[in-house]
Amino acid sequence: MTEETKGRRKRISEGAIADPGANLLEVDSESWSAAESKQRVQLVEEVRIRYYQYLDELYDAANLCVDRYQDFSSQHTKWRRTLIIGAGVVAIINLLAANKRLADATYNVVPICAAVAAVVVTILANLESYYNWATRAQAYRESRELFLDAAREFERAWNVYVRPFGDSSEAWANGIELYKRIVAKDRELRSTFKELTKTEKKPSK
């Protein structure tokens, strides 16, 4: 068996492991207590830094969703206002076109303007439906709640289950477990986020 074949088989075997920490040795309480206090503090702090990087990303994602929600809500309001005004203009022109004397005096210009205005309003309505601002805004609003709720919950968990234990083995074990969970939660939220926002540019039914 060649070295290349061995390496290929090894990579396949490693790729099949769902948890990178599976079958690895963990630091027990006795070994942890035997380590120097400075080393224990440093290890817990390193986990905390990486943990809070994920927390910051969750908060940043929530803030980004707020910005996107406000942008899309503003676009939705602007387009709805335009359509309402456009429909009113068409109604006024149609009212003028119904006046036979006025229509005869303008050689059917008013009815033609009414037809053109109606076509323009229809086009604008189709565009508004295509961009689907309202649905897109709602998707970002829901996403914001998911990111924010997760960030707050994981921040609370660290303050309750890690911080009070200082540099003890409990702090280390809980910190590692919370880090593992927040990584999984981050992956789950981003998948959910893609599902919620994939309705962009789909016409509403």
Question: For 169, left (φ over 0), alpha (ψ -120 to 50), or beta?
Answer: alpha
Look at residue 121 in the predicted model and tell me its pLDDT.
82
Task: Using alpha carbons, select from 83, 82, 89 the residue that is nearest to residue 115.
Answer: 89
- Asked if the structure places residue 103 within a domain, the reply is yes
Q: What are the DSSP E strand ranges found in 28-185?
A: none
Q: What is the mean pLDDT of each run of 10 residues along the chain (205 residues)?
A: 39 50 74 85 94 96 92 85 83 74 64 78 79 85 94 96 92 93 94 82 45
pTM value > 0.85:
no
- Specify the residue for token string 């897109």: 136
Q: Is residue 205 within 8 Å of residue 135, measured between CB atoms?
A: no
In a domain, 76, yes or no: yes
Give the count of domains, the chain: 1
Structural domain for 75, as ranges: 36-197
Query: Is residue 5, in this structure, part of any structural domain at all?
Result: no
Residue 4 lies in a domain: no
Q: 157, 178 in Cβ contact below 8 A?
A: yes
Residue 205 in any domain: the answer is: no
- Do the domain assignments include residue 10? no
pLDDT score at 21: 67
Q: Is residue 29 part of a domain?
A: no
Query: How far is it, in rounded angstroms, from Cα 37 to Cα 172?
Result: 12
2-51: pLDDT as tens digits: 444 343 333 334 444 466 767 666 787 888 888 888 899 999 999 999 99
Q: Is residue 202 part of a domain?
A: no
Question: Rounded to an integer, what distance in angstroms lies between the CA atom of residue 22 and that of residue 15?
Answer: 12
- The predicted pLDDT at position 192 comes to 93
Coil, strand or helix at 108: coil
Sequence-distant (6+) residues with CB within 8 A of 191 are: none
Two structure tokens written together for 146: 């998911």
Contacts by residues 178-187 (CB-CB < 8 Å, ≥ 24 positions apart): 178/51, 178/154, 179/47, 179/50, 179/51, 179/54, 180/21, 181/154, 182/51, 182/54, 182/55, 182/154, 183/54, 185/150, 185/154, 186/54, 186/57, 186/58
